[in-house]
Structure formats: structure tokens, C-alpha cells
Copies of this chain bind each other. A is one copy, B any other.
């Protein structure tokens, strides 16, 4: 607290990201990082951009990266936006598109940053409870509202909405923007990017941090019709016109263009999620049908806090999110490498 802070700064409840421990040799399954390295072509492209030209500003329009993304998904460059991680992209979407007189609606159990953004930007909002099985009922997101945002798959539940239900959501909100936050879409879902040409109210947000193995590079993107992208650009150019470094632009573009490399890690993580889920079932856990690179589990007997603490003692970190009573006894566990998942299961066998 300081008498020099603005009222806004006093009132904020900042987001608390998952622990980034400085201790090495931990099995880190708490922030949904990809166990596979990025494409070797990413590292080569970054090395190529690492020279005396770092003295020069990067391209503020991020044109080459946006063109590569447009080509990859079959859209035009002016239908693509990029930013310094998908959190920044989401922040701009909240300010440019989702700040309306009527309440923005989002799921009650969802990405923990949405309630933070609405506080930061002073956005009227309403949280919609999930169904008892923790799924999202799209029929709850129609009617009078100032916009809709939801992750698909949802976090931390991992539950996926099929494209047909995203379509229903868009049809039910023709006058408001619907943001589909697809941070985890590449681990078993079907992207709503295919619906962009058809719906003028759809914005799809994605990230390089998960399926592209580039959490350390900080690049996120959004796809939508040009008028929505122009709204994001207005806010971006009123906040920070050069969000991506030369390294980030080069590395991200190489990641998009290396289509062959992309599929292997995603497939491996999907298969390992199935194996791990089976092992956890045998240990007395129940879980949602996650289509993300994590599982969201609850034990039949032991409390989540107790399991998380016992895992921590054994050098395994998982995420225990305590913000909602109905999920307070659940753990979100990232799908790590084969050896990390083995270490997790071995530690759980000891504990249970």
C-alpha cells in the first residue's frame, strides 16, 4: 500500500501465475508447459535474427509473422493480430471489444485472468456457473450481454465444446463479440478459426506457449474479421506499438512454418494423457474428459492440498487452484515427458 497509488492500483487483485521454482531437478507439472523442445528451425531463425540489427526497432506491424499465420490458417493478414503472449492479446480484446455497457459473461470456473482483466479495465461482468459435470452449457450464454469469453477447451477443467456448439454460441450473440480462447486447442480440439469467414462477431485467441513449446518467447495471436483486428490494433497502438522483439518475430514465424514438426509433440501429449488418465483412475482418482495438455483430477479419499504437499516433498509440483469451492479438492496436472509422468505416478503410489 502506498499513498501514491491510484485508486485503481489499490483495488486490483493481481493474477498469481503458477510457481516458477529456481530449484532444478523438480518435476514441474504446474504451468502446462510442453515437455518437447521447440522446432530446431525456431532456434535457427532466432540465431539468424541475432545480430547488429538488434539496434533497430522491429517491424511494429509484425507483417511477416502475421502473413505466415494467415497462410497457415487460410485467412488474410488483416485478419490476424499478434502480441506479447496471449495474455496481452486477451487484455487488448477486453479493452477494445468486451468493455460494453451490458455485462460481459464468462464461466464461473475458467482461466483465472478473466476476473483480473475486468477489474483492471472496469468492465461490467457476470460469471455463469458450470453444469454439475463441470462442462459449459452454451445455452447459458445467450441473451442480454456485452460479450462472451470462454476458453475452449476450458481451463482448468479441460472440457471441450465441439464446433457445432461454438456455432450456436455465435448465432445466439449476433450483436456482441464472442472470444474463444484456444490456448489448448491443439491437444484434441477443433479450432473455431474455420468459422471466422462466416461470423463477424468471432475472435479466436491462440498462443505459442503450449503446443508450439515457446512459453519462453512470449507470443500470442488472434484471428477474426478485419474490423475486429483493427479494434485490437487501435488499443495496441495506444499502449505499446512494438510488442514483439526481432527474436520473437523470427522464432514465431519459423514455428508456424515448420508444419511437420508441430504434429508430433501434440500427438505424443494426447497419447500420454490417455495413459496417465488410466493410471490415475487405477490410483482412485476421478477426472474430467480433458482435451488439454493437463488433467483435472480429484481423489476418492485424499484431499487435494494433502496430495499437492506430499508431491512437493517428493519433488513434483502440480497446481492446486483454490478459488472455487466446487473444485477446491481438485488438482491440475500438466502432461509432462514420459519420465516426468512416471515420476508423478511413482510418487502418487507412495502417497496413496
Chain A binding site: helix, strand, loop or mixed by DSSP?
loop
- Chain A residues within 8 Å of chain B by Cβ, number: 87
**Cβ of A176 < 8 Å from any Cβ of B?**
yes
**Which residue of the partner chain, among B14, B33, B46, contacts A247 with CB atoms under 8 Å?**
B46
In the complex, the answer to whether B34 meets A87 with C-beta atoms within 8 Å is: no
Given A8-B99, A177-B4, A54:B214 Cβ within 8 A: yes
The A227-271 residues at the B interface (CB cut-off 8 A) are 227-228, 230-231, 233-248, 251
Q: List, in ascending order, chain B residues with CB within 8 A of A53's CB.
A: 216
Given that A37-B55, A52-B37 are contacting pairs, would A99 and B6 also be in contact in the complex, using a CB cutoff of 8 Å? yes
User: Within 8 Å of chain B (Cβ to Cβ): is A50?
Assistant: yes
Does B85 lie within 8 Å of A56, measured CB to CB? no
Interface mask (A1-21 → B, CB under 8 Å = 1, otherwise 0): 111111111001111110010
A56 proximity list for chain B (CB < 8 A): 20, 28, 33, 215-216
How many subunits of this chain does the assembly comprise?
A: 2
- Specify which of B46, B227, B242 is in contact with A87 (CB 8 Å cutoff): B242
Q: Does residue A341 face the partner (Cβ distance < 8 Å to B)?
A: no
CB within 8 A of A6: which of B38, B60, B100? Answer: B100
CA distance A48 to B9 in the complex (A): 37
Contact status A2-B228, CB under 8 Å: yes
- Tell me whether A209 is interfacial, beta carbon within 8 Å: yes
Q: Min CB distance, A262 to chain B, in Å?
A: 13
A51: chain B residues within 8 A (beta carbon):
37, 43
Closest 6 CB pairs of A and B: A37-B52, A14-B237, A2-B227, A216-B246, A55-B213, A54-B216
Given contacts A14-B238, A87-B239, A247-B248, 9 further A-B contacts (CB under 8 A): A8-B95, A9-B231, A14-B233, A20-B57, A20-B60, A34-B55, A36-B55, A84-B243, A215-B242
Q: List 21 A-B contacts (CB under 8 A).
A: A2-B230, A4-B176, A6-B97, A9-B95, A9-B96, A14-B233, A14-B236, A15-B237, A35-B55, A36-B55, A38-B52, A46-B50, A54-B214, A54-B217, A55-B213, A57-B215, A95-B120, A217-B246, A218-B243, A245-B245, A245-B248
